[in-house]
Amino acid sequence: MSKKATIREAINSALDEALRTSAQVFLLGEDLADPAAGVNAVTRGLALEHGHDRVLNTPISEAAIVGAAVGASLEGMLPVAEIMIMDFIGIAMDQIVNHAAKLRYMSAGRTTSPITVRAVVLEGSGAGGTHSQSLEGWFMHIPGLKVVYPSTPADAKGLLLSSIFDPDPVLFMEASRLYGKRGPMPTEDGFRIPIGKADVKRQGRDITIVTYGPATWEALEAAEALSAEGIEAEVVDLRTLLPLDLETVLASVAKTRRAVVAHHAVTFGGPGAEVASQITEALFNELVEPVVRVGAKFSPIPARASEAAVTLGTGDIVAAVKKVAGAVRV
């Protein structure tokens, strides 16, 4: 069974189910507990339902939040830590990169750190240069870590539950601009989406748009606009950035023979560079045109209305597809 829900409601539903499913699960972060329930109200009602000992307010210290989560995980707990604004995740970089992600390796497989770090991306909110960055590319460099970035309510619920009960650390990214996005959400307990599996959100024959997170919605809008001009784009939503589902990506591009990679992270050195490289190495002889990347400009993000000048928009994807598509019948 399913119902219409927002991504905010889907994440809340996943957290509620996780807390009901296992006594080892607990949440920690800034202002998570009721009545505040976080700045985005994602955890509303969970402290009242499950107790303030399982939905914990913390000091304003990302290092303490993630450090406490890592320590608790070593004692058999399943912590879900929230970084209220992803721009501040650098303060917890040592805990994530040099502790949580390394414990399995450093202990020869005897110890893992099954933490989930929920990181909220405010890009698109006009919040300025230190509150608006999409930094997933940083963490794609880290063996031992998984990176997830869903775009729909069903994906958010299924992937968050998979993340919480995964034996290794997971960075679960949430775009604040998508919290109000509505779509079908399974309501039964036990719904999961496997980490590391992409999803074809739209079928097409002429070109593949590889994307994830909020850019998925712009890619779908672009695909509809392009369809009116006779270009049928396939949209592949990666959903997970680490590990990458290259099998699904390559199968799509092998069919269309053209690809654009779109994301809200900075284009230079961004996740699209890795995806484009993998496509080119695997399908060099099949590609009609080189793979093109579109994303944010290499610039600090300005506040308010000026933000749109440097971030990804639907028009950027349309322009990139037209550049690559050329004569679509070739």
The pLDDT tens digits for 80-115 are 999 999 999 999 999 999 999 999 999 999 999 999
* Contacts with 37 (C-beta within 8 Å, 6 or more apart), sequence order: 31, 43, 44, 45, 46, 47
Instruction: Give the Cβ contact number of residue 177 at 10 Å.
Output: 17
Tokens of 143: 């063996």
- In the chain, the largest separation of any two C-alpha atoms, in whole Å, equals 62
* Domains annotated on the chain, with CATH: 2-186 (3.40.50.970), 199-324 (3.40.50.920)
The catalytically annotated residue of 17, 62, 174, 307 is 62
Which ranges constitute the DSSP H helices of 22-135? 46-50, 62-74, 93, 103-106
Q: How far apart are CA 149 and CA 209, in angstroms?
A: 16
* Contacts with 109 (C-beta within 8 Å, 6 or more apart), sequence order: none
Sheet holding 146-148, edge to edge: 55-57, 25-29, 78-83, 116-121, 170-175, 146-148, 240-242
pTM: 0.96
The catalytically annotated residue of 131, 218, 264, 307 is 131
Q: To which residue do tokens 């879900």 refer?
A: 80
User: How are beta strands 240-242 and 292-296 bridged, if at all?
Assistant: unpaired
The pLDDT tens digits for 129-185 are 899 999 999 999 999 999 999 999 999 999 999 999 999 999 999 999 999 999 999
pLDDT tier at 328, thresholds 50, 70, 90: low
Tell me what percent of the chain is helix, strand and coil, each rounded to the nearest 5: 40, 20, 40
Task: Output DSSP code: residue 302.
Answer: P
Give pLDDT, residue 133. 94
Task: Output DSSP code: residue 294.
Answer: E
Tokens of 271: 């996740």
The pLDDT tens digits for 229-278 are 999 999 999 999 999 999 999 999 999 999 999 999 999 999 999 999 99
Asked if residue 221 has pLDDT above 60, the reply is: yes
Q: How far apart are CA 217 and CA 220, in angstroms?
A: 5
pLDDT tier at 330, thresholds 50, 70, 90: very low
pLDDT tier at 327, thresholds 50, 70, 90: low
Which ranges constitute the DSSP H helices of 55-149? 62-74, 93, 103-106, 136-139
The pLDDT tens digits for 2-42 are 999 999 999 999 999 999 999 999 999 999 999 988 888 99
Q: How far apart are CA 101 and CA 146, in angstroms?
A: 9
The pLDDT tens digits for 274-316 are 999 999 999 999 999 999 999 999 999 998 888 999 999 999 9
CA distances to 43, 75, 219, 221 from 235, in Å: 31, 42, 7, 10
- Is 232 a residue of the active site? no
Asked if residue 326 has pLDDT above 80, the reply is: no
- Is 62 a residue of the active site? yes
Give pLDDT, residue 24. 98
The whole-number average pLDDT for the span 65-75 is 98
Can you list the positions of beta strands (E) in 215-298? Answer: 233-237, 240-242, 259-266, 292-296
Give pLDDT, residue 125. 84
Asked if residue 213 has pLDDT above 70, the reply is: yes
Q: How far apart are CA 231 and CA 102, in angstroms?
A: 45
